[in-house]
Structure formats: structure tokens, C-alpha cells
Amino acid sequence: MRTTLIAAVLATSLGAPAVADDPVAVVEFTGATATRSGGEVADTRYSEKADDAVINGREFADGIVTYTGQVGMGKGSAWAGIGLNVNIQPQAKPMDASKYKSVTFRLAASPEGNLRLRVIGPEEKIRNAGCYPIVTQAVKKDVKEYTIPLSQFASEGWCGGNSRAVQKVLPELVGFEVADIQMRKAPTSLSVGSITLNP
């Protein structure tokens, strides 16, 4: 394993492709708004009615970013969400992730519930429309690893012509989104740690 990792580092430093036999942590947080690779971290916050979702705080500890807030402020929205989106590389530069079969997220949620996970490609229009492929994952209060086959990610049905197949996104993968979209109308938090691609 150590030899393989050293070979990957040397290959990368020489401009050659990294060894594809090992998992690669493509997102490792070094702060609430920073990653080890220099990828940008931004808020996800939206609602049908104005100001019907709120992010109250962002904290970082032990490699984990925790967002606190509330989804549903009693203003009548049928849908809303809060969370974060993170680019793998600086300036949203895409990477070819087509050789990977699954992705591992380190996650927690309080109260326990479902988080929406999304893979993001380079098209700003599709990113803003919320039509890159997603999967919904049940998450516990304590930080745990959740490994999901990339083949399970799919665009939501209402996207129509804006839908993107995950097989088309992976060759130009830009980043990921993690969001709480449960309309609890009560305080909530979600925690995100490293995100790893697996061969």
C-alpha cells in the first residue's frame, strides 16, 4: 500500500496520471470554507418563498464542517434546503472520475434523517437549476462513512431536458453538494467530512 501511494505521488508530480488502484480523498476540509486541494466551499440555501431557509452557523473541527440552520421558517414554502457545495479543485476545474465506481461521504445529521447528496459537473446552468444527479442517504447523529455506488445517482424527474446522466458527469466531475431538504421548521444541523472516490 505504501509503495502504491508513493508511486501515485511521484507519478502526479511528474505530470503522469495517479495510480487508480486505491481510493482517493478528493475533498478534505481544512476549515469551514477551505479544502486541502484549494477547492472552493460555498453555501447551498434556497426556498420556494423568500427567506424560508436559514443558515445560522458554520463550524470546523477534526476535519468535519458542521452547518446549523433551519429548513422551513413558516413562510409557506413547499420546498427548501440548506447545506454546502464544494469543488474538488481550484476555480471549479473538472477532473476525470470515470474510472471510479463508488463515493464515500463522512456524514452526520441532527436530528437524524435524510440528506441529499449530489455530484456536480461543469455546466453552471445545470448546477444552478439543481439538475445534476443526486441520491438520498439516511444519516445518523454520529459521523459515519456512507459508501454509495455512483451508478445510483440520477437527476430528479422534474429536470426534463436539464437532466444529466451520471456517466456523462463523471468524466468532468467538478464537486459535490450535501444538503438537508427536510421541511422540519425546527433547528437542524448537518456535518460533512472527507469525500473519497473508490475504484
> Does 112 score more than 50 pLDDT?
yes
Strand-pairing partners, residue 196, are 25, 104
DSSP one-letter code for 17: P
Say if domain 23-198 classifies as CATH 1.20.1290.10. no
> Which amino acid, residue 33?
T
CA distance 195 to 78: 30
Would you report the helix, strand and coil content of the chain in percent, each value rounded to 5? Answer: 20, 45, 35
One DSSP character per residue, 53-108 reads EEEEEEEEETTEEEEEEEE--SS--S-EEEEEEEESSGGG--B--TT--EEEEEEE
Domain positions in the chain: 23-198
Give this prediction's pTM: 0.88
Residue 101: Cβ-neighbour burial (10 angstroms; 0-12, 13-18, 19+): exposed
pLDDT-derived band at 21, boundaries 50, 70, 90: confident
Q: What is the arithmetic mean of pLDDT over 129-152?
A: 98
DSSP one-letter code for 162: G
Q: What is the arithmetic mean of pLDDT over 125-136?
A: 96
pLDDT-derived band at 12, boundaries 50, 70, 90: very low
pLDDT in tens, 62-85: 999 999 999 999 999 999 999 999
> Does 14 score more than 50 pLDDT?
no
